[in-house]
């Protein structure tokens, strides 16, 4: 139905989400890539052109925000991401795959998506790119897409797999730092409890 608007597409078997995405990366010719997942959609028809006007410098990754429907509150809410990223942020979060413009050359200089991971490979790419390779990034502060919570990574049935895949990455790249981070978090929680108790 939209063939006149699509420059290239294929429909063939693949071995998983990231195998399919890697095929897309190899076929892509643009300077920046964004991965729109099944069920997600751009906020508006001109969202990409609005974002492009804010991408005026040579950052490796530009990322915006999301909007999602809160079924419990029965209303749309903004999902806003921080301007400054750190290992602490990535321990429990990730950048929005459907809200991030990634320089295509990073997939050549760093790596393609790790196809051994079934759900958390985009998270692994972001944490390695930003926390290890020091790729430059910028939060452009506009809503890029509407996030669909019915996706594979949001399914509670997959939470344990996500956690185990993240552990593989942490053990590979950050094992010593994660131990330090856990100690700091524990000390902070004790300090916070003592402050509450004194009051």
Instruction: Give the per-residue pLDDT at 13.
Output: 67
For the chain (199 residues), the mean pLDDT of every run of 10, in chain order, is 70 84 95 91 95 96 93 86 93 93 98 96 97 97 87 71 90 79 64 45
- C-alpha span between 28 and 185 (Å, rounded): 42
- C-alpha span between 192 and 149 (Å, rounded): 33
Instruction: Give the per-residue pLDDT at 135.
Output: 98
Kindly write down the DSSP assignment for every residue of 96-155, as one continuous string: -GGGEEEETTHHHHT-S--TT-SSSHHHHHHHIIIIIS---EEEEEEEEEEE-TTSGGG-
- C-alpha span between 199 and 189 (Å, rounded): 16
Residue among 170, 99, 176, 90 at smallest CA distance from 130 = 90
Residue tagged 């530009």 (tokens):
62
Count CB atoms within 10 A of the CB of residue 16: 15
- C-alpha span between 86 and 20 (Å, rounded): 29
* pTM for this prediction: 0.85
Asked if 150 and 70 count as a contact pair (C-beta separation under 8 A), the reply is no
Instruction: Give the per-residue pLDDT at 131.
Output: 95
Q: What contacts 53, CB < 8 A, 6 or more positions away?
A: none
Give the DSSP H or E segment for 67.
Answer: strand 61-70
Instruction: Give the per-residue pLDDT at 19.
Output: 94
């Amino acid at each position: 139905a939209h063939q006149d608007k699509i420059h290239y597409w294929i429909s063939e078997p693949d071995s998983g989400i990231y195998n399919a995405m890697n095929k897309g990366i190899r076929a892509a010719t643009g300077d920046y890539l964004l991965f729109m997942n099944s069920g997600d959609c751009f906020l508006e028809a001109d969202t990409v052109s609005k974002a492009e006007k804010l991408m005026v410098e040579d950052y490796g990754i530009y990322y915006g925000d999301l909007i999602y429907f809160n079924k419990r509150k029965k209303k749309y809410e903004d999902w806003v991401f921080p301007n400054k990223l750190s290992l602490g942020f990535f321990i429990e979060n990730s950048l929005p795959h459907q809200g991030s413009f990634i320089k295509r050359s990073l997939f050549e200089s760093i790596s393609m998506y790790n196809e051994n991971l079934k759900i958390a490979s985009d998270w692994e790419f972001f944490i390695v790119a930003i926390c290890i390779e020091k790729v430059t990034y910028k939060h452009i502060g506009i809503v890029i897409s509407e996030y669909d919570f019915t996706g594979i990574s949001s399914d509670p049935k997959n939470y344990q797999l996500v956690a185990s895949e993240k552990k593989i990455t942490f053990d590979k790249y950050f094992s010593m730092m994660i131990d330090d981070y856990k100690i700091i978090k524990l000390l902070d929680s004790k300090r916070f409890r003592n402050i509450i108790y004194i009051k």
